[in-house]
Chains A and B, each alone.
Chain A
Amino acid sequence: MPSTHVASGLSVYDWAMFAYFGAYLVYALHIFFLRKRAVGVLATVLLVAAFAMHTTFLVERALFYYAQYQGFVLPATNMFEAISYFAWLAVLGYLVVELFVVKTRTFAIFALLLPVAGMAYSAKAMSTDPRELMPSLKSYWLVFHITAMFMSYAAFALAFSFALMYILRARGLRGMERIDPRFNLKFLDETANKLIVFGFPLLTLGIFLGAVWADSAWGRYWGWDPKETWALITWLMYLAYLHLRLHWSMSAYRSSLLNVIGFIFVLVTFQGVNLLDSLFKLGSIHAYAEGGGVFVLAVLGLAVLIPLVMVFLPEPRAGDDALKVEGTPK
């Protein structure tokens, strides 16, 4: 039997979590204090090691499900596994971007914050045991629906990190200048936008695949279930973002704020619906009905409210002036 969990001692998941945490600290050290290449390489190596351990955990869990159910089951069948799988995709996305796209580590502290926090939260607050599978989860649609949704979430998480960097930099936050000088406002804005452009079709596809699955499992493609409704709200939010961005030439600063709000909606869809469900007894039939608490809900509410208010406040002067200066090609 694969060692999906052990009764005592640390599981491979715990080790992965500690390694992620260690990698995160080394990245922070590298970005803010020790800009030596060796430290950066060490951070990446640690992250790759953590990712390998995490992958081992996912493989073990999939093998366990195979042994139990004699078929492939994607290890994303409950909230703990969903957070784990999302973190895995987000780290994979980060590694691809770090190693092959932008080839820099300077956005690691933003991009890895959510996966690392998610791993820690899931390991600490949830049971890591494999659960019984509801019959509806034994479907090949699970793989396609969840993967499409989580890939879009991972893209939005990265877009959020770039948007946050944009906002902090545009507002002239001290210490931001230590971040890679190549990360000018134009680059941050364009990268965030590209990631949303990448993630939006995946979100559309994920919602469609979920509808097809719901139709085959429950006999309805759309039932206004809170999870479905919030996925639609998130879709509408990013649709509004794209329209405002492409047709209304919304400024990069306000786009970044909308980007942040959009990602908070992603979090509400992913986690917040469970909080709403546990607080208001809404009767969601989705599998991830775990977690809860007014505090988390209040934090999420504030996280939406603050950037929403900022959208209507005057922009920082440095914002788009700097964008024009830095964005002008030589």
Chain B
Amino acid sequence: MSSAAPSAPRQGPPEPHELLWRWLNSLPIAIAVMLALALLSALGTLVPQVHLLSGEDAANPAAMYISRFGETRYHIIDALGLNRIYFTWYFFALLSWLSVSAVVCNITRLRNTLRLWRTPPVVRREQAFNGKRGAAELSGVDPAKLHALKAELAKDRFRVREADDGGARCVYADRGFGKKWGLVLLHFSLIVLLAGAIFGRIFGVVGQIRLADGEKQSLTLDRKHGKRAFIYPLLDRLAPLTFALSQDRFRIDYDKSIVEPESLKDVDPELREYYRYFVRDFVSTLTASRYGAVKSQEVKVNHPLVLNKLVIYQSGYQQIGYVNVTDGAESREYPVVPEQWLVLTPEGPALADQMMMSGNAMSSSAFLMEQVKAGDLYQRGKKVGYIGPLTIVHITDIATERTTSQLLSADQFFETTLAGKTMRVSMAKRVDNYSDFAYKRDPAIPLLYFGWISLIIGVALSLYLPFTQVWIRLSPSDAGGQTARMLVQGPGGADAAASHYARWHDILRTP
């Protein structure tokens, strides 16, 4: 942002468009907008944002907000848009102001930079040296030595210009002009970034899809999803995009920690094994096709599949194991849902969450099972076997409130007797794996990357490159001979200027 708006001397109050231009070019206003954006962004990290919710909270956000903040406060939060602050009109308005301000500022900056580049201010009047901090004066100068000084400046990578001003010789030199271009690039990149973000938001498509092992699905991109209605006319002209997806294979690979964590030292050795297995990777062998273009590859985190600008990412997985509960002759299969209880009562088994526990009869047992683990096992990067289905079951006797834990695998079972009935719980061999994908088609990505790279180059040039300007004016002095008035503006301030003057003094002074 430039520090001062261009203002022509005029009578009366400024016209509205002049005022607007001045405001858009104003550094204090730009900083105030930046700080307001920062403040609103910070506020957005204190109130959970709808787009970041997951699971049940995402399915019913209002219930989550009411349970956390109460109904009145939720209505206030919702009315002010604090739960979706980054997508509110006022956040967008501030961003828009900043971007238009960047455009206006950049026009001014570009104009000034081009002017300085094409027609540098070579002539500097005597009065402009007088009283200027860091300016120096040198008498008894040999005018014939000026070319030596110019050569010295050129040797120091200065761009040198010379002009006559009446009877005086004026030399202007500058070095590090890249800083000026860097500042132009920096502001330009902010515009590109914002334009890219808006373009991507309008024409981009994001979504999620879940595929079971071996499943095939057709994916039609819904360009209007999550967008405002006024954008629809722009999107209606675009041809629909449909892709065929085939999940050829999905596997969840496990790794075994080569070191036993300190936290497991008090855990039963049998259970310890279970805890040492962790998911190493979840990998889909996915085939995507559209109009004859086919691509098949392993998709895993950090390794997306790209086809016709559609990028498909491995975003998650779900592994569901089952337990068999045999009650006499009848055997039923129940999914193992972590954090959900399997409650056995004399009437039969039932799934329940923790809240319902208190309502159960005293003559019952409850089992809390951990995530089932099943898949290829790796160690030190090599496949060493297969684990699972495996889980840990925490058995709570509700009457005594005692809990014991045991490992449950496909060839293990345990029994419990309730009201004279014996129930056997064993691990089923069945495991269902689901692969979650996020997909995106964002035509603005190249624009955004260009903007980011421009921003980094612009910031680096404008901050790391020093820009130095030199003015020298040689004019006849009243006492006879020539006097050189010199001014250096740039980094290092007066100290750097003084060292320049000392060198030039030796060059210019008549022997």
A binding-site residues for B, Cβ under 8 Å = 1, 4-5, 7, 64, 67-71, 127, 129-130, 132, 134-136, 138-139, 141, 197, 200-201, 204-205, 208, 211-212, 215-226, 229-230, 232-233, 236-237, 239-240, 242-244, 247-248, 273, 276, 280-284, 328-329
Which residues B481-499 have CB closer than 8 A to chain A? 494-495, 498
Q: Would you call B45 an interface residue if the criterion is a C-beta within 8 Å of the partner chain's C-beta atoms?
A: yes
CA of A208 to CA of B460, assembled, Å = 14
When distances are taken between beta carbons in the complex, the residues of chain B under 8 Å from A67 are 258, 380
Whether A132 lies near B278 (C-beta < 8 A) is yes
| B178 touches A (CB below 8 Å) | no
Is the pair B456, A219 in contact by a Cβ cutoff of 8 Å?
A: no
How far is it, in angstroms, between the C-alpha of A132 and the C-alpha of B47 when the chains are bound?
30
Chain B residue contacts of A240, Cβ below 8 A? 31, 34-35
Stretch at the interface among B49-57, B351-359, B391-399: B49-57
Is chain A's binding surface mostly helix, strand, loop or mixed?
helix
| Interfacial chain B residues near A212, Cβ < 8 Å | 449
Q: Which residues of A contact B459 (CB under 8 A)?
A: 200-201, 204
Q: Are the C-beta atoms of B498 and A329 separated by less than 8 Å? A: yes
Question: Count of B residues near A, CB < 8 Å?
Answer: 66
Q: Are B448 and A221 in contact (CB under 8 A)?
A: yes
Cβ of A218 to closest chain B Cβ, rounded Å: 7
How many Å from the CB of B180 to the closest CB on chain A?
13
| Min CB gap B275→A, angstroms | 10
Listed by A's residue number, 23 A-B pairs whose Cβ atoms lie within 8 Å are: A1-B258, A1-B259, A64-B258, A67-B380, A136-B301, A197-B464, A201-B460, A211-B452, A215-B445, A219-B304, A219-B311, A219-B439, A221-B445, A223-B52, A232-B38, A233-B42, A236-B35, A236-B37, A240-B31, A276-B45, A281-B48, A329-B495, A329-B498
Q: Closest residue of chain B to A135, judged by CB?
A: B301
A194 to chain B, nearest CB (A): 10
Residue of A nearest to B455 (CB): A204
Inter-subunit contact A224/B440 (CB<8 Å): no
A132 to chain B: closest CB distance in Å? Answer: 4
Flag if B463 contacts A201 (CB, 8 Å): yes
Interface residues of B in 287-315 (CB under 8 A from A): 300-302, 304, 311, 313, 315
Docked CA distance A215–B452 (Å):
13
Q: How far is the CB of A284 from chain B (nearest CB, A)?
A: 8
Q: Is the CB of B258 within 8 A of A135?
A: no
When the two chains form the complex, which single residue of B197, B261, B495 contacts A129, counting CB atoms closer than 8 Å? B261
Cβ-defined partner of A208 (8 Å) among B48, B86, B311, B452: B452
Complex contacts, B380 vs chain A, CB 8 Å: 67-68, 70
B3 within 8 A of A: yes
Min CB gap A241→B, angstroms: 10
Bound complex: CA A134 to CA B281 (Å): 8
